[in-house]
Amino acid sequence: MTHQSIYIFDAGGTKTDVLIYSNGQSETITLSGYNPNRLDTYFNREVIKLDIPDNAQIFFYGSGINNQLAIKQVKNLFRTSEVTVEGDILGAARACLKKTKGIVCIMGTGGNTAYYDGESILQKNGGYGYLIDDYGGALELSKLVVSNWLNQNYSSETSQAIADYFEISAEEFIPLFYQNKNLHALAGVCTILNELSKTDQVLNETLHNYFKEFVSRHVLPLCKKTDQYTVSLVGSIAVHFNQHIKKSMSDNGITIAKSIKKPILELLDFHLN
């Protein structure tokens, strides 16, 4: 690479990781989440503050990038012409598989599954946003957990822990949530579930059934279609709930090749080599 600097963006609904590579040195910073399908000027202001050099090369991978209009919107954020814009699932595939074919799953705030032929994404299952189908991700799981919490299906310890996380009682949750619609806070409840599930059988079953449904709905059909039964996982959910996911995968004859929380370092390696 002859460019003075390289900027790699990995943009999700909750946050955006940015890796800055210059003169053989790299650093990673975190910005707010970005999706071209929603109105948000805060991310635009954060990008301006980065003061990216005109001659920098930019690789932008993000959620919601699935048409030319979305690509144009992202390119308009930057003043340099050397901007490559791709969907987050291609970034995940490149990070995990480099140039070999295989199946990759994003399991972050949202979730989807895709088959990669070593160059392009040939088929994608899921990842249709939180209103339709983001199975495999934190938001869909959080909705199930909160529903069980509101229906008083969990132990008193689990119920109190969830109330403490949201800093509100179950009785007060619904009106406040629909006023604020804080999806980031909703997804964040996943961070406390692993420990709670060790002593709450109903919560443990919630997790088991969720990942079982994800595999059945989106992963297994793609495995059967491509005759590929090894998958790679990317995202916080993939790492945080690895044992639950591994069980659901192995029950269907699927092996997990690797699970990485953040693909950005592997993406730098991909672009440098």
pLDDT of residue 241: 97
In tens, the pLDDT along 36-72 reads: 877 666 898 999 899 999 889 999 999 889 889 999 9
Cα 193 from Cα 184, distance rounded (Å): 16
Instruction: Please give the Cα distance from 6 to 229 (Å, whole number).
Output: 35
pLDDT tens track for 242-266 = 999 999 999 999 999 999 999 999 9
Q: Which residues of the chain have pLDDT under 70?
A: 1-3, 39-41
Q: What is the pLDDT of residue 14?
A: 80
The structure's pTM equals 0.91
**Domains along the chain?**
5-96+262-272 (3.30.420.40), 138-259 (3.30.420.40)
C-beta of residue 197 within 8 angstroms of C-beta of residue 189: no
The 8-class DSSP code of residue 86 comes to E
* Residue entry with tokens 């399991």: 107
CA nearest 231: which of 253, 210, 209, 212?
Answer: 253
Q: Dihedral of CA 27/33/35/40: which sign?
A: negative
Q: Measured between alpha carbons, how far is 94 from 71 in angstroms, rounded to an integer?
A: 19
For residue 1, the model assigns a pLDDT of: 43
Contact 264, 10 (CB under 8 A): yes
